[in-house]
């Protein structure tokens, strides 16, 4: 009988046992061969164990990620329900349903409302982002008209621009091909870019320009705002990063809009960027393939 | 006679808001707290319009809407669904269930009233 230990540097993980009928010692060559075989077995066993461990870790991670997304989805619903009551009651009071509030009370209620809406914006943005991170946001791919997307954003934000005495312009080519993509999400991106441009521009204009080239749309939002230093141009596409952290408070906004926009554009196989220098205004632009097909694994 | 609106909603605060809003606007409100109770109330009371919340204990708002729209006696009653969030995909599911319109939560009472008046002038 010959016993060869299966050795790892730190311990023995098993034994290789060989028996034969003939009495006497094993030849040295056989012993050498079995030792080599034992070494290889140690490696194979280790690999198999590692593989099983990685598989198990992967399963645990997937489960954790699912739990996390489910938790966020539930939480955002739970957060929104009381917010509904806060915003609802304050609007009813402002609409004189419970009698006429004083001017001072009105002022306070309007603050309650605007803070409530800001909180809602944050909850929605966090939910959006967490869904994207968890790979749970599926694009809903359909035919769309880029012209209509631009027009709906124009209509939604025109009054905001007018209130700041900014000109909001639209520059579209005479004809644009029908696009294929998630219209609602593309609208969300453009709303975000134009909303930002209006928010950070104090005088002058904001222009939305669309063009088509090499099977892709390019949509650019140009403003005459303060501009963004080169050092900050990458950072602003990350979560909770604004050029000036104090601007979150003074300008409102969640600090998540560009991060979400970047992900939406990338999910469409496109890219988003900014061209700007300080004092020269900024142009935020994104390029989208005209026809986007659902990615594998997406519904 | 004032128009009657069935509200299917499990949260007391939301029902209170709707009670104040609809009462003030001259509507009569019928209340149900679950999908099942909503179906029963719709059949018994034949309201002029239904406001349906989505997340309800038991039968959810989608299924309740689907059943109401499958009932020949009740399908003509307009249903406005209150979905949780515009971009969640709930609006698509609500339309598939056959609702006539939807508003997203948190709904603005003012906008909701405008929507209701489209169906109950």
CB contact under 8 A, A77 and B17: no
Chain B residue numbers with beta carbons less than 8 Å from the beta carbon of A118 are none
Name the interface residues of B facing A (CB cutoff 8 Å).
Answer: 11, 13-14, 17, 20-21, 24, 55, 84-85, 87-89, 92, 105-110
C-alpha–C-alpha distance, residues B36 and A281, integer Å: 58
Kind and range of the H or E element at A169? Answer: strand A167-171
ipTM: 0.84
How far does CA A162 lie from the centroid of its chain?
31
Residue entry with tokens 């729209």: B69
C-alpha–C-alpha distance, residues B62 and B66, integer Å: 6
Chain B residue numbers with beta carbons less than 8 Å from the beta carbon of A97 are 20-21, 24
C-alpha–C-alpha distance, residues A232 and A221, integer Å: 18
Determine the 3-state secondary structure of A272 from DSSP: strand
Residues of chain A with pLDDT under 50: 248-249, 296-299
Who's near A38: CB < 8 A, 6+ residues apart? A4, A5, A6, A7, A16
Min Cα separation B83/chain A (Å): 11
Q: Tell me what the mean pLDDT of segment B15-19 comes to.
A: 94
CB contact under 8 A, B17 and A85: yes
How far does CA B2 lie from the centroid of its chain?
17
**pLDDT, position A126:** 81
Compute how many other C-beta atoms are within 10 angstroms of the C-beta atom of residue A50: 10
Could you say which of B55, B109, B110 has the minimum Cβ distance to residue A77?
Answer: B55
**pLDDT, position A24:** 79
Q: Tell me what the mean pLDDT of segment B80-103 comes to.
A: 76
- Residue B63: pLDDT band by 50, 70, 90 thresholds? very high
Dihedral sign computed on CA atoms, order A245, A248, A254, A258:
negative
**pLDDT, position A296:** 45
Between strands A282-289 and A179-181, the pairing is unpaired
Chain A residue numbers with beta carbons less than 8 Å from the beta carbon of B21 are 92, 97
Top-confidence residue, A293 or B103: B103
Angle, alpha carbons A76-A241-A80 (nearest 5°): 15
**pLDDT, position A245:** 55
Model pLDDT for residues A139-166, shown as the tens digit of each residue: 888 899 999 999 999 998 998 999 999 9
Could you say which of A77, A95, A188 has the minimum Cβ distance to residue B84?
Answer: A77
Who's near B60: CB < 8 A, 6+ residues apart? B35, B54
Tell me which chain B residue has its CA closest to the CA of residue A94.
B110
CB contact under 8 A, B87 and A98: no
A41 backbone dihedrals φ, ψ, rounded to 5°? -60, -40
Model pLDDT for residues A227-276, shown as the tens digit of each residue: 888 888 888 888 776 666 555 445 656 778 899 999 999 999 999 999 99
Determine the 3-state secondary structure of A222 from DSSP: strand
C-alpha–C-alpha distance, residues A282 and A271, integer Å: 17
CB distance B118 to B90 below 8 Å: no
**pLDDT, position A151:** 92
Could you say which of A84, A95, A188 has the minimum Cβ distance to residue B106?
Answer: A84
**pLDDT, position A297:** 41
The model's pTM: 0.64
**pLDDT, position A283:** 94
Structure tokens at A168: 């909001």
Determine the 3-state secondary structure of B28 from DSSP: strand
**pLDDT, position A133:** 75
**pLDDT, position A298:** 44
**pLDDT, position A130:** 77
CB contact under 8 A, A80 and B85: yes
pLDDT surpasses 50 at B108: yes
- Average pLDDT of chain B is 89
């Amino acid at each position: 009988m010959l016993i060869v230990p299966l050795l790892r540097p730190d311990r023995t993980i098993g034994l290789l046992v060989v028996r034969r009928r003939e009495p006497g010692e094993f030849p040295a060559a056989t012993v050498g061969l079995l030792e080599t075989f034992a070494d290889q077995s140690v490696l194979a066993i280790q690999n198999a164990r590692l593989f099983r461990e990685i598989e198990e870790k992967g399963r645990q991670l997937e489960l954790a990620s699912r739990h996390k997304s489910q938790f966020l989805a539930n939480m955002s619903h739970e957060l929104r329900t009381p917010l509904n009551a806060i915003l609802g009651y304050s609007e009813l009071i402002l609409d004189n349903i419970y009698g006429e509030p004083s001017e001072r009370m009105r002022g306070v209620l309007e603050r309650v409302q605007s803070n409530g809406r800001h909180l809602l914006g944050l909850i929605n943005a966090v939910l959006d982002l967490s869904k994207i991170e968890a790979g749970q946001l599926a694009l809903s791919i359909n035919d769309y008209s880029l012209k209509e997307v631009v027009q709906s954003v124009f209509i939604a934000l025109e009054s905001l621009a007018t209130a700041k005495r900014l000109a909001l312009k639209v520059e579209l080519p005479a004809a644009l091909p029908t696009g294929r993509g998630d219209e609602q999400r593309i609208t969300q991106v453009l709303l975000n870019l134009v909303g930002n441009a209006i928010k950070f521009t104090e005088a002058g204009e904001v222009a939305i320009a669309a063009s088509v080239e090499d099977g892709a749309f390019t949509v650019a939002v140009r403003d005459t705002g303060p501009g963004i230093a080169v050092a900050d141009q990458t950072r602003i596409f990350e979560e909770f990063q604004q050029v000036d952290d104090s601007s979150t408070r003074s300008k409102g906004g969640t600090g998540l809009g560009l991060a979400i926009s970047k992900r939406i554009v990338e999910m469409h196989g496109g890219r988003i960027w900014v061209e700007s220098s300080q004092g020269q205004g900024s142009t935020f632009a994104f390029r989208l393939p005209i026809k986007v097909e659902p990615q594998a694994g997406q519904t | 006679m004032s128009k009657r609106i069935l509200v299917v909603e499990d949260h007391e605060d939301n029902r209170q808001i709707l009670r104040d809003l609809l009462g003030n606007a001259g509507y009569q409100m019928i209340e149900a707290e679950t999908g099942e109770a909503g179906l029963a109330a719709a059949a018994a009371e034949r309201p002029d319009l239904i406001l349906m919340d989505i997340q309800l204990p038991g039968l959810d708002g989608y299924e309740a809407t689907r059943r109401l729209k499958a009932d020949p006696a009740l399908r003509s009653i307009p249903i406005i669904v209150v979905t949780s969030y515009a971009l969640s995909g709930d609006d698509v599911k609500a339309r598939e269930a056959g609702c006539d319109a939807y508003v997203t939560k948190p709904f603005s009472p003012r906008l909701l009233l405008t929507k209701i008046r489209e169906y109950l002038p």
